[in-house]
Homo-oligomer: A and B are copies of this chain.
Amino acid sequence: MDTKVSKRGGYHHGDLRQAMIDAAEAVLAEKGVGGFTLRECARRAGVSPAAPAHHFGNLVGLLTAIATLGFDDLSQEMETAVAKAQASGGDRLAAICEAYLAVALARPGRFRVAFGRLGLKNNDEELRRAAIRAFGILVRETKLALGHEIDSDVLTRLPSSYAGDLDLAEILFVWSVTHGFSTMLIDGQLAPLEMQPGGRGRLIALYSGRLMEMLLAAVRASASLTLANPASHG
């Protein structure tokens, strides 16, 4: 994780871009998104405050890189979870929802940067690609759970192309539950509930258990409803 400074002989760093990203992740992990500072990251990378400008443009550029990393990590963890569920006979949709929460809990600072919209370069190509892929996985698994066909380009299709999709409600429903629970947990909304015996683990168990049951039941019910009366949608 550290990149260890390949060869920091003198004036030139070697790989400042990666060093800054590593430093940023460390700062986010230690102080959270509140105590995040460009100068602090530069300090940790052993470089002057103005150095990162050439690599990231400005603070927003660095945050955008972090967010991209966050989306890619999310995609990877969800895919891994899907594979594991497939092998063990578990539910794929529940697996990605649990992976989503796990990613948020593992790196809440990065998660907030990715989803908090502190101000990111929204036209950044890498960020867009990473976000689309993560969204695509969600779409794919939801449609799969509904027993519907999925296009071969799910992981690259623009989210806007789902505006009129028949399954949009289910997709948003699944995403809302997952994202809502994740953000409430890392933002401390559920802190009072975590103080009780069992703490956070108890809440996570509830999420992976009853909440997932409810979620899957809702999606399945919606699927049969769709079959019974497809006209009531849109």
Contact = CB atoms under 8 A, between A and B. Distances in A.
Interface stretch (A8-16, A72-80, A147-155, A168-176): A168-176
Contacts of A192: 158-160
Interface string A218-234: 11011000000000010
Nearest to A34: B119
Interface in A184-200: 184, 187-193, 195-198
Interface residues of A, number: 53
Interface of A: 34, 115-119, 122, 158-160, 162-164, 168-170, 172-173, 175-181, 183-184, 187-193, 195-198, 202-203, 206-207, 209-211, 214-215, 217-219, 221-222, 233
Could you say how many copies of this chain the assembly holds? 2
B196 A164 contact: yes
Nearest to A177: B176
Contacts of A180: 175-181, 183
Nearest to A184: B179
Contacts of A183: 179-180, 183
A188 B197 CA distance: 36
A183 to B, nearest CB: 6
24 contacts: A34-B119, A115-B189, A122-B188, A122-B191, A159-B192, A160-B196, A163-B193, A163-B196, A168-B206, A169-B210, A172-B190, A172-B203, A173-B177, A173-B214, A175-B180, A176-B176, A176-B177, A176-B181, A177-B180, A180-B180, A210-B233, A214-B219, A215-B218, A217-B221
